[in-house]
A and B are shown apart, each in its own frame.
Chain A
């Protein structure tokens, strides 16, 4: 599904290189965790996959379902089934959550050749998904993320994911800023969205999230490179020994 080969990325504004040769292969149905210390490039990788234009790819390629992902705009990546749950979901005063979600869903449905949902059908879909992640319906009528708590914002991201039905979901530090109860709810939501035809990439600093969402593979990112890969056992080892030991392995 996703094939990243020798990816080099720098920040457009200042030319600082963040990713220095990433190789990663993700198949349908797999859940990959990407762990690493602060500043290792985890979030950059997530943003580059979604098409963030503040970064520049200087070398390497990303193939998504055989296509060159780097040629697609952020909106076309979303329509092709890529979803990025942001580490810091953006507040947009003046746009109702429901309007935003419906417009997004219909843009994606149009692209897939499906009929657009009308207001009634959308509402029942949204209600069903909200129930499932234990989100109050009143959030539909509130402006996007405005005045939401940290946990509510993250839950809103998972709601979007549930409604937009992506093939590849990238969750960037979805666990950060969540207390244990909120974390459990979010994790349950994510687990229920696991499917044989859907892949997920979890970007996280801490092992904690992986107690609730058990990955098939764990990769450790350090200094812009993947320095270790393994199964879920790797995450436990990191928890015990910290990130320092991985650096010796470079």
Chain B
């Protein structure tokens, strides 16, 4: 898109002098000569490799993209409900342009966000989903974006657009992973019609050398539900941006996030909850665990527009530091222009709670086991909110691997401290 390119050319890369980029310096990253992959026929990635990044969810459709291009041979597609469209963005722009154009780049504001501008300028592929009126999609749709840099530093700009019309229902999972030094700069737009329900899970397990910028922009009509869960594990430099517009009366949004940083990781989380209509509610809960010399950022903005009376907005950010060197910057940011609203926010940064630690030890559990358990428990509070059960198990495996620095292979679920085993109740 030409205007996006012009916008980016005008503003250039953001500098730490800008408030939104105060804690995240992108200058070193912009000096890396990332190359755009032009070849869509890349076949160096096997189904087995991809399997490792796919959550085991019964009946899920799995759509695989390698270096930004859709790979039908690695994907599984079954019968879609009548009228539902599920296409690669490249295809959809050709065959369903009339459905794509009204929404593409409508809510992802590239004038405001320089990396969204870059993505928009270079749109080449991604996924387009259209769920027509009153259509309930019974199986989750799982997108896997895999980057393989193969010795040269590559960049991809995946672009997704999910449109769910009135009373439609859709469950989505977006996973990002890869190998090598590369940059993923992804943008997803979600449009929920009135009384629509959209569940969205975003899991980022990029290579620890990778740069990951992701932005989700959603717009909700009246009485719609948008529940989003973010899990950020990998990447060297990470920025997760979520921008929700509650555009219709009585719409509700649940925004959960868990991020983890270790070694030299820098993980920046930006959220905007824009209450633009009355009687809408939002509940935001982000948690982070930082180890070693990792740095974390949480910048949570709530805007309540003058017309958005009777807004109910909650925001909470809690962070656990497991080392003396880890650093967290958390900044709740409320801009309230209506007078009849309920808004609350809170943020904490702390270490493992000594009272909890003593409680576990006084019941016979080793100090280090108690410490690990409390660390898991901290993250698990977010994982448990994910509605798809297979997804929860998969995330627990991820958590285990990242906490123990074993990211190379899949952990059998029996090895997990919380494995439910054959008996669900225990």
A residues sitting closer than 8 Å to B (CB atoms) are 50-54, 73-75, 77-79, 83-84, 86, 89-90, 92-96, 98-100, 102-105, 107-108, 111, 119-120, 122-123, 140-141, 143, 160, 164
Contacts and interface: CB of A to CB of B under 8 A. Distances in A.
Contacts of A73: 361, 367
A103 B421 CA distance: 14
Contact of B360 (A79, A100, A120): A100
A106 B360 CA distance: 13
A122 B420 CA distance: 13
Contact of A104 (B355, B363, B417): B363
B362 A50 contact: yes
Nearest to A99: B418
A86 B359 contact: yes
A164 B360 CA distance: 13
B423 A74 contact: no
Contact of A98 (B379, B422, B425): B425
B37 interface: no
Residue from B355, B365, B381 whose CB has the most chain A CB atoms within 10 Å: B365
A202 B376 CA distance: 34
B425 A94 contact: no
A123 B423 contact: yes
Nearest to A163: B363
A51 B362 contact: yes
Give chain B's interface secondary structure class: helix
B363 A141 contact: no
Interface string B384-426: 1000000000000000000000000000000001100111011
A78 B363 contact: yes
A222 B377 CA distance: 40
A164 to B, nearest CB: 7
B379 to A, nearest CB: 7
Given A50-B362, A122-B426, A140-B425, A94 B367 contact: no
A94 B365 contact: no
B364 interface: yes
A40 B304 CA distance: 52
B56 interface: no
A206 to B, nearest CB: 25
Given A122-B426, A123-B425, A140-B425, A75 B359 contact: no
A119 B426 contact: yes
B371 to A, nearest CB: 12
Nearest to A74: B361
Nearest to A118: B421
A74 B381 contact: no
A90 B359 CA distance: 7
Nearest to A123: B426
Nearest to B377: A94
Contacts of B426: 98-99, 102, 119, 122-123, 140
Contacts of B366: 75, 107
A93 B381 contact: yes
A238 B421 CA distance: 53
A94 B422 contact: no
A117 B367 CA distance: 22
Given A94-B376, A140-B425, A52 B363 contact: no
Among B358, B378, B418, the one with the most A-chain Cβ atoms within 10 Å of its Cβ is B358
A111 B377 contact: no
Contacts of B369: 103
Interface string B337-380: 00000000000000001111011111111110110011011111
A144 to B, nearest CB: 8
Given A83-B362, A94-B379, 10 more contacts: A74-B358, A89-B359, A103-B369, A104-B360, A104-B364, A111-B364, A119-B423, A123-B423, A143-B377, A164-B364
A160 B425 contact: no
A99 to B, nearest CB: 6
A160 B423 contact: no
6 contacts: A75-B366, A83-B362, A90-B353, A99-B426, A107-B363, A123-B426
Contact of B365 (A93, A103, A119, A122): A103
Given A53-B358, A98-B425, A140-B425, A92 B377 contact: yes
Contacts of A103: 365, 369, 373
A94 B421 CA distance: 17
Contacts of B360: 92, 100, 104
A164 B363 contact: yes
A108 B364 contact: yes
A102 B417 CA distance: 11
A95 to B, nearest CB: 5
Contacts of A98: 425-426
Given A99-B418, A99-B426, A123-B426, A94 B378 contact: yes
Most chain B beta-carbon neighbours within 10 Å: one of A75, A78, A122: A75
Nearest to A52: B358
